[in-house]
Structure 1
Amino acid sequence: MALALTMCATYSDGPGGGRDAGTTADGDKVHGTPVPPRGDPQPELGWGFTHTQYSADEGDADARRRAEQTLSAQPVPQIQHIMGWGAENPEPSPGRYRFDELDSRIDLIRRTGGTPVVTLCCAPDWMKGGKEGGTDWSRKALETAPLPEHYDDFAKLAGTVAKRYPDVRHFIVWNEFKGFFDDDRGRWNYEGYTELYNLVHAELKKVDKANLVGGPYLVMDSYEPRDPTYASALKGPWGSVDQRVLDAYAYWNEHKRGADFVVVDGASYTRDDELLPDTFRATEKLTAVSEWIGDRSGGLPVWWAEYYVEPGDDDDDRHGWSEPRRVAVHASGLMAMARGGASTAFYWNPQNRGAACAGCLWRSTQLSDGGGALPMMKLLSRFAKEFPPGTRYDDTVRTAAAEDAPDLRVLADDEVVLVVNTLDRPVRAKVDGTSLDLRGYEVRWQAR
């Protein structure tokens, strides 16, 4: 009964209940026990992942504990959005907040030793022309940008989030320019996004000058090489990046009022899901984009908020590849971003509730035997451990002349060599002076 009364008190604090039931007016009250950052926050975080609709903060108790042990074994940076992807509408009505789910995700990141990153997306309905007190969770509604007259309100919400979680020092402004495409002009409304970005940036720095803020989180879409549609000079055998995206970046880059890192997003495949010239060499796009951004960022670190190397089906599910192939191609993608100078990237974790989950990082915590690390988690955590920010890569590693040598991918520093066999059959090769027998699609870590 005491618990029931506590729950009633907690979830009935709106004025007279009704549409504001379950909300609170003190959204900026510090939640839980913040974990003090170790030293000054750095703009380069390394290799991590994004929490999506389902994560390790719900399900079977034993499975949750195992998942937390999995994540704690090699802590990595972790992203959580403020609305959607597992988080409730944070401000259903002006000045009335609901942070239960976001609290839960931040607590999970704290418990597992990860560096928390908050993506400031998406916006409550009333900021988008919808009704106060309600939430339309349709994809169209979720991906609608705030109206210009509510940019200030969104910035204030960002400030409230920053005050609530003072140990969060890294913030990404919005997600993929959602809702900012101008259909009449056939281009991105980069003026509107940049105005929103600047207001949010100013608000976060007002809360704490140590907060680090980045954008614009553009999707670096590309077309196949012979397609002249919005062709640009950023191109290769993998395709040509949409010029309209580059125009949006150029405007933001010129008119932003400060940034601590630059955020992009994209896939190795084209808009038509073509992997060119083949599955593995298509990842060279990630290198080219990283270099292009790095050349124009004024020295700011390059982040990939999302990266994809495997096309999805009509429901965006990815069940067509074997797990060894998936891990091999993702390893090549990580290597490609690192070669291009990117220092931070986040794997979009497709976690679901079932036993079958292509590319998931851990076995679902809804299962009594869940929580254990899956192959993609093992790859990501090892890559994060071996190649942290500041790694000086060694380009002198040699692969002995052999028929299959061009089909190996290699990345090394002073202590370890990562080798990927891009073929679906065994390969014998000599890498860095060591003879290796590699299985099809094997990812091998070799100490130096």
Structure 2
Amino acid sequence: MTAAASAPSPAREWPRWGFTHTQFSADHGEPEAVTAIVGALAQQPLVQVQPIMGWGAGNPEPSPGMYDFESLDSRMDFIRRSAGVPVITLCCAPDWMKGGQAGHTDWDEIETAPLPQHFADFAELSAVIARRYPDVRHFMVWNELKGFFDDEAGKWDAEAYTDLYNQVYVALKAVNPDIQVGGPYMGMATARPNAWMHASAVRGDWGALDRRSLDVVEYWLTHNVGADFVVVDGLATTAGGAPDEFAALGKLSAVSRWVRERTSLPLWWAEWYVGPDRPDWSADRRVALRTAALIELAAAGADTVLYWNPAPAGPGCASCLWTDTEEMGGGAPLPYLAVLQEFARSFPRGTPLVAVPEPPGVRILASPERLVAVNTTGEPRMFGQDGREVVLGPYETRWITRTAIT
């Protein structure tokens, strides 16, 4: 297996849509199953993200200066074979950087942040990884400020995270000035009902954002030494008071607008979650909710949207992208992979959007050439298109070429 690959062509269009590999992905399993999903993914390239430790990757530096990239190489090789555009999340840190024993990996401490005296060591590891994978031009620094919460102060330690980020940024740019670096990868939390004192003025029928999350983004924007994109994530569920799961998606656009008001940097959603799914929901309803989330994010101007891929499961897993490659006959693409790929095909970055009237219960995203419509209700709904009425079944998702009804 070759660790490195040539740098991508500058003419290659940066895609807008993609997903993150998690612990159980598709780089191992039955050869026929792996080949099947590699071929399915290659039909429409997507951004594919892999963390450096955890989520399917082992400890990259178990002892100082002693590297083990076997599992990370495997994931990166899979991304290349499936025509993915590779992105690396620089999380998490080897044990010896966070007070643990060199040569030992305690996975219970995976969310522990490196100690300040080892920030430079983590930055050097980041540079080693950037040199090993020169085809990777986009790096996200850390993940949701894991390990950076100050329990005594009751807030996130934005200062310490930004110190780590700045050292990583400088190290990566020293490897290649064209590398794109982003942060702070902050989880944009909704204020809890029992902790309303943390609620911000950013609110809607979905609840209110926790001001401590906003404080992190604002501090990082002010104090970073440089950045190429800003990264956030968040849950859009009914837990904050939204009347239903589709109304809760308003949080995604509220966060996006808030960020846009503070920076012109490209906006990345590294993770987004909806639901929670209920056992009585149909597969169509689950897909419709996730498709409506993509519409919300695109309409709000997100530049890159990454789906947190759940563990591959059987044909009935409406939130999965493919079936388990460890099973004979696995590696089959599932309906939501087709949705992601169709968004990549029909709404690449820079696609002009046009306003189309949305009747009650219908979400629509349209360009001059293509349109996707989602019925967010359990009853049939209609909308007008090219002088005709289109009827959507309960929770149906429909793609339309705007010169004809398909």
Q: TM-score, normalised by structure 2?
A: 0.95
Residues 331 and 356 of structure 1, relative CA distance in 2, 3 Å threshold: closer
CA contact (8 A) 2:4 2:133 kept: no
Letter in 2 for 1:281: A
Among 180, 184, 187, the alignment partner of 1:219 is: 187
Aligned pairs for 1:318-329 (under 5 A) are: 321-329=281-289
The SS at the match of 1:199 is: helix
2:319: which partner in 1?
Answer: 359
Question: Cα distance, 1:341 vs. partner?
Answer: 1.0
CA deviations over 1:271-313 (Å, ceiling 9, x no partner)? xx3561311111111111111111112x11000000011227x
CA contact (8 A) 1:354 1:367 kept: no
Give aligned pairs, total: 402
Among 374, 377, 392, the alignment partner of 1:438 is: 392
Question: Cα distance, 1:354 vs. partner?
Answer: 5.9
For 1:236 and 1:110, the matched residues in 2 are separated by: 41
CA contact (8 A) 2:140 2:181 kept: yes
CA contact (8 A) 2:313 2:322 kept: no
Among 335, 351, 357, the alignment partner of 1:391 is: 351
RMSD: 1.9
For 1:199 and 1:236, the matched residues in 2 are separated by: 37
Say if 2:230 is the partner of 1:262: yes
Aligned pairs for 1:65-144 (under 5 A) are: 65-138=35-108, 141-144=109-112
Say if 2:374 is the partner of 1:409: no
Say if 2:374 is the partner of 1:420: yes
Question: Cα distance, 1:153 vs. partner?
Answer: 0.3
For 1:40 and 1:245, the matched residues in 2 are separated by: 36
Question: Cα distance, 1:425 vs. partner?
Answer: 2.5
The SS at the match of 1:223 is: coil
Residues 58 and 175 of structure 1, relative CA distance in 2, 3 Å threshold: same
Say if 2:337 is the partner of 1:337: no
CA contact (8 A) 2:37 2:333 kept: yes
Question: Cα distance, 1:338 vs. partner?
Answer: 1.1
Question: Cα distance, 1:390 vs. partner?
Answer: 0.5
1:308: which partner in 2?
Answer: 273
Say if 2:208 is the partner of 1:240: yes
2:147: which partner in 1?
Answer: 179
Letter in 2 for 1:277: P
For 2:268 and 2:249, the matched residues in 1 are separated by: 16
Letter in 2 for 1:392: P
For 2:179 and 2:12, the matched residues in 1 are separated by: 8
2:401: which partner in 1?
Answer: 447
Say if 2:220 is the partner of 1:252: yes
The SS at the match of 1:83 is: coil
For 1:422 and 1:381, the matched residues in 2 are separated by: 21
Say if 2:131 is the partner of 1:163: yes
Of 231-240 and 426-435, deviating more is: 426-435
Bigger Rg, structure 1 or 2: 1
CA contact (8 A) 1:398 1:431 kept: no
Letter in 2 for 1:398: P
1:36: which partner in 2?
Answer: 7
2:250: which partner in 1?
Answer: 284
Of 320-329 and 212-221, deviating more is: 320-329
For 1:114 and 1:375, the matched residues in 2 are separated by: 19
For 1:428 and 1:406, the matched residues in 2 are separated by: 9
For 1:125 and 1:97, the matched residues in 2 are separated by: 13
CA deviations over 1:381-434 (Å, ceiling 9, x no partner)? 111111111011101x235xxxxx210001101101110000123223324533
Question: Cα distance, 1:442 vs. partner?
Answer: 0.5
